[in-house]
Amino acid sequence: MKNNLLENLKGFILGIGLFTLLGQGVVCANNLPSSPDREKGILEKSIESALAEHTEAVMAIPGVVGLSRSLCGIQPCIKVFVTRNTPELTHEIKKYLEGYPVVMIVTETIRPRPDLEIRP
């Protein structure tokens, strides 16, 4: 009887954990501003093309240390990594690039690891 109770408790805890993770993904996706182009189903460029076209300009903004394509919930998005969240950065970084939502992530300065050999 004790083993059965433990198994039920493990299943319950696992279920709560999965529910929480799935719920966070839905909340993240629902908190993204809606792009008019995305609502119409009009995304002319792939996310890779959008990144290739805009990376140089976004990286030139002081405080921006990186960009990546990602998923926000189930929706593709572009993450912009910044050293701090300031009103100037919030104003200067667009909310959308080619219809893809942009999410700012505060991080430390990104540096290459000294123990890794960089190959061309």
- The enclosing domain of 66 has a CATH number of 3.30.300
In a domain, 115, yes or no: no
C-beta of residue 70 within 8 angstroms of C-beta of residue 79: yes
pLDDT for the residue numbered 32: 53
Give the pLDDT of residue 114.
78
pLDDT digits (tens, 9 = 90+) for 81-114: 999 999 999 999 999 999 999 999 999 877 777 7
Number of Cβ within a 10 Å radius of residue 54:
18
**Looking at the domain assignment, is residue 63 inside a domain?**
yes
The separation between the first and the last C-alpha atoms of the chain, rounded to the nearest angstrom, is: 62
The secondary structure of residue 84, as a DSSP letter, is S
Q: Which domain holds residue 81?
A: 32-106
Q: pTM for the complete prediction?
A: 0.60
Residue 81 belongs to a domain:
yes
pLDDT recorded at residue 42: 58
Low-confidence ranges of the chain (pLDDT < 50): 2, 5-6, 9, 12-29, 40
Q: Considering its fold, how many domains does the chain have in total? A: 1
